[in-house]
């Protein structure tokens, strides 16, 4: 048998190594899974993780997935650093898309340069408002934010379904639950006309730089970190903890809302029941995998973005269900949490005890 022994201090090496280890374990488990399903594991893993990126088009498609993931994750990161467990990026994303999309449908026949920024702003504000609900419930009623944000996700999804089946349905759409297609004036400009990649990726990279500065160079970032490390210390230092909780959720909601409206006015081009393939949930994994650091989040969102493309690829090439994406994402988070134990603990054989380190 093995036993855990507390390290004198957390291992920085393991902190960095754990995600790598988790990825290796996920690949091993994924390979095993493929071979159980009767596919050569090497070939299948190649199809899942490498084949999508063998041409420029693949890389631009990865950018399409990375932008929303990164925006959601950068916001969640802000919350998680403060130990505010916002699981609601999915709902905030949907409300951003829905609210902004509604404004877009109202204004899209005008042909002004300020329409798109206005639509983006509307989406951002809607996402923020949805998160504000959770903040209000937490600070005024002490309601657990994990449960309230999850419930708000389901409510947002139903609101979207209601809208596309009812008031926002395209009158000329043969009764499909979809809105009318957006016009040019409410569509995100593309980076290059041959690809679907829009300027939302640039926006996400800009946000990354801002968040990095915010976290490491400002008082707010410092206060958020202190609140997460030790709430009592934060109170003692006179930080307004309520206000910080609000800030964490508002920033997070705003970014998820922006991701939502950028997705709707970008690659999707209309409202439909499936505006998010679970970006809000995948972003949670991105934050943990990215070690709650902006740069780590960049790489982690590339990997998670790749799992969406890999899922589509194995569906086409190996006729496996696309839902294998969720399976890989879940395994990744599981292995990561298991490997993270090594940050605080050493694993030793149970029989041998070292009296010097046992305290």
Partner 1 sequence: MDIDLLTNILFATIRTGTPLVLIALGELVCEKAGVLNLGQEGMVLMGAATGFIITVVTGSLWLGVGAAMLAGLFMSLLFGFLAISLVANQVATGLALTIFGIGLSAFLGTEYVGVGIEGISQLEIPLLSSLPVIGKVLFSHDPLVYLSWGIFAALYFCFRRTRLGLTIRAVGENPESANAIGMRVMLVRYGAVLFGGAMAGLAGGYLSLAYTPLWSEGMSAGRGWIALALVVFASWKVERVLLGAYLFGAASIMHLVLQGLGFSVSPNLLSMLPYIATIVVLMIISNDTIKAKLNTPLALGQPYRPQI
* Contact window for partner 1 (CB under 8 A) among 50-58, 251-259, 297-305, 318-326: 318-326
What are the residues whose beta carbons fall under 8 Å from the beta carbon of 322, sequence distance 6 or more? 311, 312, 315
Q: Which two tokens stand for residue 301?
A: 């969102």
**Residue whose CB is less far from partner 1, 58 or 344:** 344
Backbone angles phi, psi at 85, to 5 degrees: -85, 75
If one asks whether residue 7 binds partner 1 (CB under 8 A), the answer comes out as no
Give the residue carrying structure tokens 């498609």. Answer: 61
| Binding test (CB under 8 A) with partner 1, winner from 32, 54, 158, 216 | 158
| CA gap 110, 99 in Å, rounded | 18
**Residue whose CB is less far from partner 1, 87 or 303:** 87
If one asks whether residue 155 binds partner 1 (CB under 8 A), the answer comes out as yes
If one asks whether residue 35 binds partner 1 (CB under 8 A), the answer comes out as no
| Binding test (CB under 8 A) with partner 1, winner from 32, 144, 213, 216 | 144
| Binding test (CB under 8 A) with partner 1, winner from 148, 187, 252, 265 | 148
Enumerate residues 58-97 that contact partner 1 by CB under 8 A: 85, 87
What does the CA dihedral 20, 60, 50, 332 come to, rounded to 10 degrees?
A: 40
| Binding test (CB under 8 A) with partner 1, winner from 40, 56, 233, 337 | 337
Q: How many CB atoms lie within 10 A of CB 87?
A: 21
| CA gap 346, 335 in Å, rounded | 17
| Binding test (CB under 8 A) with partner 1, winner from 8, 9, 113, 142 | 142
What are the residues whose beta carbons fall under 8 Å from the beta carbon of 141, sequence distance 6 or more? none
* Smallest separation (angstroms) from partner 1 to the CB of 15: 14
* Smallest separation (angstroms) from partner 1 to the CB of 138: 9
């Amino acid at each position: 048998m093995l036993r855990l022994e507390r390290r004198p201090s957390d291992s920085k090496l393991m902190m960095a190594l754990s995600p790598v280890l988790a990825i290796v374990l996920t690949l091993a488990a994924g390979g095993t899974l493929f071979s159980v399903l009767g596919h050569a594991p090497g070939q299948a893993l190649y199809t899942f993780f490498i084949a999508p990126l063998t041409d420029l088009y693949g890389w631009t498609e990865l950018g399409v997935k990375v932008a929303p993931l990164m925006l959601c994750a950068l916001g969640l990161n802000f919350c998680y650093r403060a130990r505010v467990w916002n699981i609601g990026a999915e709902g905030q994303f949907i409300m951003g898309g829905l609210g902004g999309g509604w404004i877009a449908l109202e204004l899209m026949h005008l042909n002004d340069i300020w329409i798109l920024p206005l639509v983006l702003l509307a989406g951002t504000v809607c996402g923020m408002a949805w998160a504000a609900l959770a903040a209000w419930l937490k600070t005024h009623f002490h309601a657990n934010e994990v449960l309230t944000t999850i419930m708000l996700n389901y409510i947002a999804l139903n609101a979207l379904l209601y809208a596309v089946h009812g008031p926002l349905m395209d009158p000329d759409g043969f009764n499909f639950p979809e809105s009318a297609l957006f016009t040019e004036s409410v569509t995100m400009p593309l980076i290059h006309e041959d690809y679907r990649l829009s300027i939302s990726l640039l926006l996400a990279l800009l946000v990354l730089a801002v968040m990095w500065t915010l976290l490491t160079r400002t008082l707010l970032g410092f206060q958020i970190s202190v609140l997460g490390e030790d709430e009592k210390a934060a109170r003692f230092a006179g930080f307004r903890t309520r206000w910080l909780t609000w800030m964490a959720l508002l920033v997070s909601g705003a970014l998820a809302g922006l991701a939502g409206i950028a997705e709707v006015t970008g690659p999707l081009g209309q409202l439909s029941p499936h505006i998010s393939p679970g970006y809000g949930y995948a972003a949670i994994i991105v934050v943990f995998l990215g070690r709650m650091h902006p740069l780590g989040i960049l790489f982690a969102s590339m990997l998670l973005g790749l799992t969406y493309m890999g899922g589509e690829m194995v569906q086409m090439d190996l006729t496996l269900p696309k839902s294998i994406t969720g399976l890989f994402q879940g395994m990744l988070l599981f292995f990561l949490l298991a490997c993270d134990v090594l940050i605080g603990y050493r694993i030793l054989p149970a029989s041998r005890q070292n009296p010097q380190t046992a305290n």
